[in-house]
Amino acid sequence: MTATDSLSVWLRVRRETDWHSAPALQRIPTDHDGFRSWCERPVRRRDPIRAGRLLAAYNLACEDAARRSPLSFALLSGWQREVLASPRAPFRVSDA
């Protein structure tokens, strides 16, 4: 049995799709935030400190998204520092 190259399949589908005829996506705000619910329920039951850190980082990410901040290594690192409650995020240094 040979493995399927999922990337090749996806690239072929993207090329073959008539994107101009596809319906436009509509952004419909929801009353339910799945990530927030996950943090508030099962994560908080297991580890309330972790839940608080995850939600704090998520709030930062939402604020950055609302400001339309460009996604950067520094931004990701800031969120990760919040999750870990650490002044340094354990990321490799960007070569760029």
Residue 90: what residue type? Answer: P
Q: CA–CA separation, 89 vs 93, rounded Å? A: 10
Tokens of 96: 């760029």
pLDDT at 55: 97
Residue with more model confidence, 74 or 90:
74
State the pLDDT at residue 42.
Answer: 96
- Above 90 in pLDDT, residue 22? no
What pLDDT band is residue 93 in, cutting at 50, 70 and 90? low
Tokens for 25, please give them.
Answer: 């996506």
Q: Is residue 94 over pLDDT 60?
A: no
* Across 2-8, average pLDDT: 87
